[in-house]
Structure 1
Amino acid sequence: MNQPAPGWTCAICHCNEPEGRLASLPDCSHQFCENCIRLWAARKRTCPLCMAEFSFLLALRHDGELDVLELAQPTPEVEQDADLGSIDHMFLAEQVEHISSRLLMAKESLNLARGHGHQSEEDEKFVAISSASRRMEELSHYFSLITTGELTTSANYDTSDILRLLYRFQDLVQSVLFDDPNWKDHCEV
């Protein structure tokens, strides 16, 4: 399980090499990047491919032993008044970078489709993804200022707003890459 099968692609981020460890679902054995399936599991507890339910993940450690990865309860929506002050800014920064790379991949994919004559809806998707990418660049810059110490972590930022934005962009990327007809539901207002 530590090596993906030939031709493997993570159904969530569409990479061919796992980002971090390879994680698998216990019942269906579908494999994903560990970070991708953890982010997915924070919102949904069904396999992105076959909809099989799961409550934990399996991942192979470097020493060849199998890890059972417990998951926190899924949170479909971040509550407006949720106490998220304890979320580490480094976690948010990592998620910003991860989703930024997914947005870039979606943008490149749409650019290819636009180049092959698929114009109207692909153009709309490209504009939506480009707008989301610009917002993510701003967030990335903000978190790099915190990381380098140029901005203190006590600076005012609303963790719940950032999480909502990250989840919305994650959903936008997913819906665009999987040709979801309701992709516009995930665009910014």
Structure 2
Amino acid sequence: MSFVNAAPETISAAAADLASISTTIGAANATVAVYTTRLAAAGADEVSAALATLFGSHGRLYQAVSLRAAEFHEQFTQALAAASISYSTAETTSTALMHDALSVLNAPSQALLGRPLIGNGTNGGPGQKAVLEAIPFRRRSRHGRFAERATQQTLYERNQNGNSSRFRVHRTAAAGDQQTRRRAGACRAVRRGDRGRVTRHVRPDAPRR
């Protein structure tokens, strides 16, 4: 798996900046080429002629090195521009393939329901949130009985204006768990024939007989 994140538009902008820098440096080198490679001697003596020849050789060496650097700069700029084109092509191809795959997956649902299976849903109508909050969450126990228990998020929204909303949430959740355990124990007692235990678990507040 590759961890490289590439932005084709950023790479293309960097290649354009490098090309502009190369043009500026090339123009500057061409302007000073005559003045740095062909120096006139300061005097008619041998020392002045030797110094002019020495500095002229340094100027010619600089121009040669600048030419090699400009060639490398041009190659690097071209490689960067080619990379930008490659990344853009790969991104376009991947997007097209993903769109084709989604079209294949959504075709049956689109034909049957008139809506895609994978995609953005529609906004809910007015009053749907209140209807959903009024429906309690049902959780089936392993003995086949249902224990109605509101979720903590719904309880928090109903009691968000009270000072003890969080405590009510935890007490209600704990009461739901205790009721579920009592019903499960009652089912086990029925299988063993213990009617007294059924009475205690089903009606813990009823007087004992």
Same fold (TM over 0.5): no
Indicate the structure (1 or 2) with the bigger Cα radius of gyration: 2
TM-score, reference length from structure 2: 0.28
TM-score, reference length from structure 1: 0.31
Q: Higher strand share goes to which structure? A: 1
Q: Higher helix share goes to which structure? A: 2
Greater RCO structure (CA 8 Å; 6+ sep): 1
